[in-house]
Amino acid sequence: MDHVIRPVLAEEWDRAKEIRLAALQDPVAHLAFLESYEHAVQRPDSFWQDRAAHAAEGVTSRQFIAEAPDGRWVGTITALVERPAGEVRFGEVAESDQTHLVAVFVRPEVRGTGVAEALFRAAIDWSWELSAPPVKRVRLYVHEDNARAAAFYRRIGFVPSGDTVPVPGEETAREVEYEVLR
């Protein structure tokens, strides 16, 4: 694989915005993201600048990108740090120190090339490197109807935790939690 996997830099906010908007236009975005393209495209530049700055700091979150040899960003993943004393990001208060992987996207033309696996490895490795206190698990949620994503997560080592939560805005749909334990 010729792609470089690395953390996003604060000054790359416009590129982070572009890949997020591309993700939200993917045909399965309605199953994978809790935000719509129409909502995100209306956000001011200051939102994107703050988002990239926080992800670049690597304290409460870290965004990784896959950069092609020509410099084009072809994938992204974000790890959110969740602590029992911290804010609730999705679901309930964290029972243990953990990270939550979100905003996973790989452009269609590079799917199946190892980019997604490399992004996940970077996010999981970063999670295990956290200290004060160390992370005990990495989790993510997948829409119950997103079979392609669920199969990929199982293939790279995630297993269902047994927990599900309602999909915001969908009365009967569920998000299934997957995890990797340390």
pLDDT (tens digit per residue) in 121-135:
999 999 999 988 899
The CA distances from residue 71 to 5, 65, 121, 173, in Å, are 12, 11, 21, 38
pLDDT at 50: 97
Please report, in tens digits, the pLDDT of each residue of the chain (182 residues total): 699 999 999 999 999 999 999 999 999 898 899 899 999 999 999 999 999 999 999 999 999 999 999 999 999 999 999 999 877 766 678 889 999 999 999 999 999 999 999 999 999 999 999 988 899 999 999 999 999 999 999 999 999 999 998 988 888 999 999 999 98
Query: 123: closest CA among 158, 107, 99?
Result: 99
Tens digits of per-residue pLDDT, 136-161? 999 999 999 999 999 999 999 999 99
Give the number of other Cβ atoms within 10 Å of residue 11's Cβ.
11
Q: Are 99 and 134 in contact (CB under 8 A)?
A: no
Give the three-class secondary structure for 165.
Answer: strand
Q: Return the structure tokens found at 126.
A: 């970063």
Spatial strand order of the sheet with 159-166 comes to: 4-7, 61-67, 73-82, 98-106, 137-143, 174-181, 159-166
Q: Return the CA Rg of the chain.
A: 16
